[in-house]
Amino acid sequence: MESVYKVIEIIGTSEKSWEDAARVAVETASKSIRDLRVAEVKELDLKVDEGKLIFRVKLNVSFKYETS
């Protein structure tokens, strides 16, 4: 069977860790995008906000196009 997938970029943030930022991003995206397949970490960075560290993760996520 042939399949087609779409890849989009999302960014998650957390005050706890990069892992938590990735989890938040994927869980949030999965609420509006069905059938997420793969999340690939593309970039990690930190934002300093008034002395607090904000962990940020840029992800490419893929999902399958549905056929009628």
Phi-psi region of 19 (alpha: psi -120 to 50; beta: other; left: phi over 0): alpha
| Amino acid 68: pLDDT | 63
pLDDT category at 64 given cuts 50, 70, 90 is confident
Domains in the chain: boundaries: 5-64
User: How many CB atoms are closer than 10 A to CB 29?
Assistant: 17
| Amino acid 34: pLDDT | 86
- What six digits make up the tokens of 2? 């042939």
| Amino acid 4: pLDDT | 87
**CA quadruple 68, 35, 32, 29: dihedral positive or negative?**
negative
pLDDT tens-digit series, residues 9-60:
999 999 999 999 999 999 999 999 988 999 999 999 999 999 999 999 999 9
pTM of the model: 0.85
What class, spelled out in words, does domain 5-64 have in CATH?
alpha beta
